[in-house]
Amino acid sequence: MLPEELTADVGKPIQQLTAREARAWLREQYERLSSQSSSNKMPGQSKRAALPEAVDAFELKYLTDAQQAGARLTVKLFNTETFSGRLVGFSPYALTLCLDDGRDITLQKLAIAYYTRAAEATA
Amino acid sequence: MSLGDHLRFLRAMRGGPAFDALADKLNEADRRKARDLEVRYRDTSDESIVRKLADCYGAPVEELMWHRARSRRSLSDYLLAVSSENRPAELRLRSGEVLAGSVVWWDLAAIGLQPADGRPLLVVQRHAVVDWPLAG
């Protein structure tokens, strides 16, 4: 920001600002910058840089998108059992599907081998 | 699959006892190590604790050592290598099924794998992957 832009934004030369006015202006700028930066983040993304294995943002985004789209998932468990249904909820530890017969089932992630969108055929 | 992931599986298959319930076979320091292995993915194991854990869960020591050689970091290194070289990844699951495809992303819990045959993205749970080429 150029000095003249700063003066226009503040409404007077910064040398004439009182401490209270300066604090209020800085607070406004901080809140503006915070809202701008947070709108570009993925859900769950940390402020600090992190290795891929230290975050769960990709799976979180996949599940958030699937739930918002009312997508059907096919979930295969490690014992090869398979469930298909609409994703109605999830947490870091479980997925909840609404099955075709209307029942809800919660599957623990520890029992899941993999899952995929069910609109197309799965493995 | 890392040792921590395998220990979590073994504990779950035995009804998920709390770490304190293992007090008859593991002292406090050993239980702390076991918790770090499972919960924090921190491999603080040595041969002594691996033997004690094998005894706890009734599993062969060799089985735990095999998993110990397949750390989460090793899987990440493999995923990074195949991604960088535009090669498909091959992941063998606990069920014996082998999944192949391009790695689209990976994170703490899962791997986004795009099969070459046009099927939609598979979200493979890390804890389900027991082996991969050049592991161990």
Residue A119 has pLDDT above 90, yes or no: no
pTM above 0.90, yes or no: no
Would you state the torsion angle of the CA atoms of residues B91, B92, B97, B100, taken in this order, to the nearest 10 degrees?
20
- Higher-pLDDT residue of B131, A43: B131
* Banded pLDDT at A121 (limits 50, 70, 90): very low
- Domain total in chain B: 2
Residue B42 included in any domain: yes
- The verdict on residue B136 lying in a domain is no
Residues B105 and B108: their CA atoms lie apart, in Å, by: 11
Here the tokens at position B24 are 């008859």
Task: Single out the residue in B46, B68, B90 at which a domain terminates.
Answer: B68
A56 — pLDDT class (breaks 50, 70, 90): confident
What is the per-residue pLDDT for A33? 79
pLDDT at A49 over 60: no
Rounded to whole angstroms, the Cα distance separating B88 from B1 reads 19
User: A85 pLDDT exceeds 70?
Assistant: yes
Say which CATH number the domain at B97 has.
2.30.30.100
* Window 31-70 of A, Cβ < 8 Å to B: 51-59, 62
Residue A38 has what pLDDT?
58
Spatial separation of the C-alpha atoms in residues B107 and B96, rounded to whole Å: 23
Q: Which residue has the higher pLDDT, B46 or A96?
A: A96
What is the CA A63 to chain-centroid distance, rounded?
A: 10
pLDDT value at position A40? 57
- CB-CB under 8 Å, A80 with B107: no
DSSP state letter for A85: E
pLDDT of residue B134: 75
Burial (0-12, 13-18, 19+ Cβ within 10 Å), A7: middle
Between A50-54, A60-64, A97-101, A108-112, the lowest mean confidence (pLDDT) is in A50-54
Distance from the Cα of B134 to chain A's closest Cα (Å) equals: 20
Contact A58 B105 (CB under 8 A): yes
Three-state SS for B32? helix
Q: How far is CA A107 from CA A63, A77, A84, A97, in A?
A: 14, 9, 11, 8
Position B57 confidence tier, pLDDT thresholds 50, 70, 90: confident
Residues B89 and B119 placed together within one structural domain of the fold: yes
Query: B95 lies in which domain range?
Result: 72-131
Give pLDDT, residue B29.
Answer: 87
Same-domain check for residues B64 and B84: no
CA A36 from centroid of its chain's CA atoms: 15
Mean pLDDT, all residues of chain A: 82
How far apart (Å, rounded) are the C-alpha atoms in residues B3 and B38? 8
Q: Would B18 be classed as within a structural domain?
A: yes
Question: What's the CA gap between B75 and B89, in Å, rounded?
Answer: 11
CATH number at residue B20: 1.10.260
| Interval B21-29 mean pLDDT | 83
Alpha-carbon distance B57 to A80, whole Å? Answer: 24
Identify whether residues B26 and B53 lie together within a single domain.
yes
Q: Indicate if the pLDDT at residue B136 is higher than 70.
A: no
Task: Characterize A17-35 residue by residue with b for buried, 16 or more Cβ atoms within 10 angstroms of its Cβ, and e for exposed.
Answer: eeeeeeeebeeeeeeeeee
Q: What is the CATH number of domain A52-117?
A: 2.30.30.100
- How far off is chain A from B109, nearest CA to CA, in Å? 6
Same domain, B7 and B36: yes
pLDDT at A39: 58
Which residues neighbour A96 within 8 Å (Cβ) at sequence distance 6 or greater? A87, A88, A89, A90, A104, A105, A106, A107
Those of residues 2-31 in A touching chain B at CB distance below 8 A are: none
Q: What is the pLDDT of residues B61-115, one digit of tens each?
A: 999 999 988 888 889 999 999 999 999 999 999 889 999 999 999 988 899 999 9
pLDDT for the residue numbered B123: 97
